Amino acid sequence: MRSVLERDGLGGLLLTHLPNIRYLTGFSGSAGMLLLLPDRTVLITDFRYSAQAPMEVGNSAEVEIDRTSVWDRLGRLLSIPAASGPGAAALGVEESYLTLRDAERLKEFGRFELIPTRDVVERLRAGKAPAEVEAIRAAATLAQEALAEVLPSIRPGQTELEVGSRLEAELRRRGSEWHPFPTIVASGPRAALPHAHTTARSIGAGEWLLLDFGAQLDGYCADLTRTVVVGAAADDRQRAVYEVVRAAQARAITHVSAGMTGREADALARDPITAAGFGDAFGHSLGHGLGLEVHEAPRLAPTAEGPLPLHAVVTVEPGIYLPGWGGVRLEDDVYLGPDGARCLSDNRTELLELL
């Protein structure tokens, strides 16, 4: 990170995006700023974290607790001699996360030109250390165990909210710190909505039930999707569509690797789905990075021309969505290692009929 200061002629870099702060320091609080100077790293937060912040941060940063105004404390830090010298008037900020109000606050300090930066920390986060990979794998295992507990209890007539509440309870009971995103439980024709809201709709016999859910351990997220048929055997059309998605996902997991572009990875699943006549029904990208955020770099998408980093963890989640009929999505979490791709989730994608 300090090499970025030198490279870009910055006198300092102010980080306000909490996942980036946690990545660099271990601080997991809900409010804080991290100021990176050429010879100091300072975490600024408030009284609520006066005990927690030093314990989590350790030696990775100095901790400044301000009971009145963290912004006043930041202003005092920006005026210290360590921020003087060539390029000291340039303060890097995260352009995607600094609000207009906070930019105005910084300008009130008067002596710094704000220099927007993009994805400086995110590029470091894209390649995972072994401990990060293990945290995601453990979160995926926890999520799978919660689903296995809930699936046998699902019956026609239950509502999506009832199923979702039981799944979320099992996730928490097994130790998930929180839900990385709102759990999606979509039944029947609502399974054609890729990011459906879970509702009070009753599940009908013979309908699709799409479950998109995750777990979080040590701050790291898992993200899984399974699609099942409830209360009856699948019909021929359901089996045919399901098999197209399953084969496309298997092809992508088998062949995806670090170094290929996100567009090339996306095509591994998109090409067979298109060849089967469902290209227009697969409207989202194949996947995204996983880590401290459930959606982070890299992207596996038709527009992603950058190479997939070594040691990235990504989702592989092709889908087919047919309005008025339903949809199928299968999602697993995949580590891109030096020897190829390895599933961190169980990749158990056989068609389940909950009879």
Give the pLDDT band (50/70/90) at residue 2.
confident
In three-state secondary structure terms, 74 is helix
For 27-41, 104-118, 129-143, 235-249, which range has the lowest pLDDT when averaged over its residues? 104-118
Return the structure tokens found at 246.
Answer: 């399953």
202 and 91 belong to one structural domain? no
What backbone phi and psi angles, to 5 degrees, belong to 75? -60, -40
Domain boundary (125, 155, 177) is at 125
Q: What is the pLDDT of residue 85?
A: 47
144 and 113 belong to one structural domain? no
100 and 232 belong to one structural domain? no
91 and 151 belong to one structural domain? no
Per cent of the chain over pLDDT 90 is 86
* pLDDT at position 81 over 50: no
Burial readout 166-185 (b: 16 or more C-beta within 10 A, e: otherwise): bbbebbeeeebbebbbebbb
327 and 189 belong to one structural domain? yes
230 and 250 belong to one structural domain? yes
Q: Which carries the bigger pLDDT value, residue 2 or residue 339?
A: 339
What backbone phi and psi angles, to 5 degrees, belong to 89? -75, -10
Number of domains in the chain: 2
207 and 88 belong to one structural domain? no
146 and 84 belong to one structural domain? no
Measured N-to-C along each axis, helices 160-173 and 130-150 cross at an angle, to the nearest 10 degrees, of: 130
Domain boundary (96, 125, 154) is at 125
Domain housing 105: 2-125
Q: Which carries the bigger pLDDT value, residue 107 or residue 299?
A: 299
Domain boundary (72, 92, 125) is at 125
112 and 150 belong to one structural domain? no
- CATH of residue 193's domain is 3.90.230.10
95 and 196 belong to one structural domain? no
In three-state secondary structure terms, 266 is helix
* pLDDT at position 80 over 60: no
91 and 156 belong to one structural domain? no
- CATH of residue 34's domain is 3.40.350.10
276 and 200 belong to one structural domain? yes
